[in-house]
């Protein structure tokens, strides 16, 4: 292909084109590997933003989807329904935390969060209670549409738009030192009676470079929310479907969320789709004899049958013994790697949750500082696709990655310590 046509016609996401005009052409992907135009191989150590967890072009998912798309491509999902959607909803409810009862469809992680926020705000509106504030964590990331951006805490994404935000109070992420203070702050905000929802990434904040917090701390905050009738929204767009070591990160807490957002690996990386699931209590608050009480939110491609089929096939794979064993294998493998590099003088900190592993280097740098580009180029030269953020590099590889491929990623990270 002509790279000039890319430069001439395309505006890439999250890119400063003046500083970074070049994009690498990827021609093919299979299993855990990406191939460029010259047939160089790269291990996809971040599963293309945590999507293709069952491997690129997974033969089971592609076969199921290809069959589906010859039978029913798309149909309006208001007034009509179809088997791919009902089958998917049923299989999701079976594996989601046990209070989740209804499945609402949209197109991407950001819209699944916007849907959740609108559900929470209208839940209170429908009950006649005036609640206009939302609580979210500092450093959280929930997407790039206006609602999702409002509850995100990273200024590089939402700085120019902060005057156009929903009314959001930001809470520090709890740790051993600040937990009492954070609880006090949450309690004080909650007691005013005007907080509609608490939106959070459970246990692992992906875009904050895999920042992690303890389930018992989050559970304390969820208890305060429950006590104050604040709708809890778990954004599991990144953490969902096995990455934390359980199907959903929310399963690590006793307090269950009222609403859960899902996308990314939902469809195994084949096609876009997102889900916002909710409890019976949320759903029931939208029932009534007049139309206005209903939830008037809908996307043209809601519950696209092809996407539903990709999701259904992905969940079958997730539930398989093979994938479950693989998750265990990767967890153990990461543990061994951590014990190998933890004491290295250039390693400040390591952390792991399930198959997610992060290494902080002992160096100060900006999130998009020069170091990350230097490291990125180094890893690519070693045949490994990693996306360092600031002084952190993390691994979130497809479940089907081999031990040899894992070893190659570890070696690349170890060798990169010599160039920082
Ligand atoms: C990626 C991500 C989103 C946004 O999803 P998009 O599909 O990119 O809109 C929202 N929340 C979390 C936790 C994410 O990791």
Question: What atom in ligand 1 is closest to the CA of residue 111?
Answer: 9
109 pocket-lining for ligand 1 (C-beta < 6 Å): yes
- β-pair type (133-137, 168-171): parallel
Is any atom of ligand 1 closer than 6 Å to the C-beta of 206? yes
What is the number of other CB atoms lying within 10 angstroms of the CB of residue 60? Answer: 15
110 close to ligand 1 (CB < 6 Angstrom): yes
Structure tokens belonging to residue 307: 């996407």
Report strand pairing: 195-200 vs 133-137. Answer: parallel
What residues contact residue 148 under an 8 Å CB cut-off, 6+ apart?
A: 109, 110, 111, 113, 114, 117, 142
pLDDT of residue 158: 66
Is the pLDDT reported for residue 156 higher than 70? no
Ligand 1 center to 341 CA (angstroms): 30
What confidence tens digit (pLDDT) does each residue in 276-326 have? 999 999 999 999 998 999 999 999 999 999 999 999 999 999 999 999 999
Residue 116 in this model has a pLDDT that exceeds 80: yes
In the prediction, which pLDDT does 318 show? 98
Task: Indicate the burial class of 262 (C-beta count within 10 angstroms; 0-12, 13-18, 19 or more).
Answer: buried
| pLDDT band at 157; cut points 50, 70, 90 | low
Mutate to test the pocket of ligand 1, among 49, 115, 116, 142 (most ligand atoms within 8 A of CB): 142
CA 237 / ligand 1 centre spacing (Å): 6
Model confidence at 372, pLDDT cuts 50, 70, 90, reads confident
C-alpha span between 110 and 149 (Å, rounded): 8
Question: Whose CA is closest to atom 5 on ligand 1?
Answer: 109
160-193 per-position pLDDT tens digit: 888 899 999 999 999 999 999 999 999 999 999 9
Give, in degrees to the nearest 5, the angle at Cα 402 between 399 and 407: 115
CB of residue 220 inside a 6 A radius of ligand 1 = no
Whether 202 lines ligand 1, by a CB cut-off of 6 Å, is no
Index of the ligand 1 atom closest to the CA of residue 148? 10
Q: What is the 290 CA–ligand 1 centroid distance (Å)?
A: 34
Query: Does residue 143's CB lie within 6 angstroms of at least one atom of ligand 1?
Result: yes
Of the pLDDT bands very low, low, confident and very high (cuts 50, 70, 90), residue 28 is very high
What is the percent of the chain where pLDDT is above 90? 93
* CATH numbers and ranges of domains, the chain: 78-316 (3.40.640.10)
Whether 263 is in the pocket of ligand 1, judged by its Cβ within 6 Å, is: yes
Closest atom of ligand 1 relative to the 238 alpha carbon: 15
Does 113 contact ligand 1 (Cβ within 6 A)?
yes
Ligand 1 neighbourhood includes 211 CB (under 6 angstroms)? no
Asked whether the predicted pLDDT for residue 256 surpasses 70, the reply is yes
The pLDDT assigned to 365 comes to 80
Residue 411: phi, psi to the nearest 5? -60, -40
**Average pLDDT of every residue of the chain:** 96
Please write the tens of the pLDDT for every residue from 124-146.
999 999 999 999 999 999 999 99
> What pLDDT does 297 receive?
97
DSSP state of 266: G
Q: Kindly report the backbone phi and psi dihedral angles of residue 27, in degrees, each rounded to the nearest multiple of 5, phi listed first.
A: -100, -30
Round to whole Å and give the CA distance between 332 and 415. Answer: 21
Query: For strand 195-200 and strand 231-235, is the pairing parallel, antiparallel, or unpaired?
Result: parallel
Opening angle at CA 257, ends 119 and 111, nearest 5: 40
């Amino acid at each position: 292909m002509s790279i000039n046509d890319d430069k001439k016609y395309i505006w890439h996401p999250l890119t400063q084109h003046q500083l970074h005009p070049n994009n690498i052409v990827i021609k093919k992907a299979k299993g855990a590997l990406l191939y460029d135009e010259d047939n160089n191989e790269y291990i996809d150590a971040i599963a293309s933003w945590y999507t293709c967890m069952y491997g690129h072009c997974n033969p089971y998912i592609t076969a199921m989807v290809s069959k589906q798309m010859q039978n029913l491509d798309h149909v309006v999902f208001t007034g009509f329904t179809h088997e791919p959607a009902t089958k998917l909803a049923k299989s999701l409810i079976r594996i989601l935390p046990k209070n989740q009862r209804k499945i609402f469809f949209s197109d991407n992680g950001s819209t699944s969060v916007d849907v959740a926020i609108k559900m929470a705000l209208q839940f209170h509106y429908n009950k006649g209670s005036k609640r206009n504030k939302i609580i979210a964590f500092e450093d959280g990331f929930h997407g790039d549409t206006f609602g999702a951006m409002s509850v995100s805490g990273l200024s590089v994404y939402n700085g120019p738009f902060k005057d156009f935000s929903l009314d959001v109070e930001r809470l520090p992420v709890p740790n051993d030192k600040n937990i009492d203070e954070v609880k006090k702050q949450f309690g004080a905000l909650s007691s005013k009676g005007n907080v509609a929802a608490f939106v959070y990434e459970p246990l692992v904040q992906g875009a904050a470079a895999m920042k992690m917090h303890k389930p018992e701390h989050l559970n304390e905050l969820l208890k305060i929310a429950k006590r104050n009738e604040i709708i809890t929204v778990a954004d599991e767009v990144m953490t969902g479907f096995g990455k934390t070591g359980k199907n959903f990160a929310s399963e690590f807490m006793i307090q269950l969320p009222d609403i859960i957002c899902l996308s990314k690996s939902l469809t195994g990386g084949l096609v876009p789709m997102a889900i916002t699931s909710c409890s019976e209590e949320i759903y029931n608050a939208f029932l009534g004899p007049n139309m206005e009480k209903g939830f008037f939110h809908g996307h043209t491609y809601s519950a696209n049958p092809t996407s539903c089929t990709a999701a259904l096939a992905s969940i079958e794979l997730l539930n398989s013994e093979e994938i479950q064993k693989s998750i265990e294998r990767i967890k153990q493998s990461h543990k061994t790697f951590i014990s190998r590099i933890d004491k290295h003088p250039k390693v400040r900190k390591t952390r792991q949750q399930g198959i997610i592993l992060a290494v902080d280097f002992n160096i100060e740098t900006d999130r998009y500082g020069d170091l990350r580009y230097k490291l990125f180029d180094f890893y690519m030269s070693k045949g490994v696709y990693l996306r360092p953020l600031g002084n952190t590099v993390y691994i979130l590889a497809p479940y089907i990655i081999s031990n040899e491929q894992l070893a190659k990623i570890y070696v690349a990270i170890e060798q990169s310590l010599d160039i920082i």
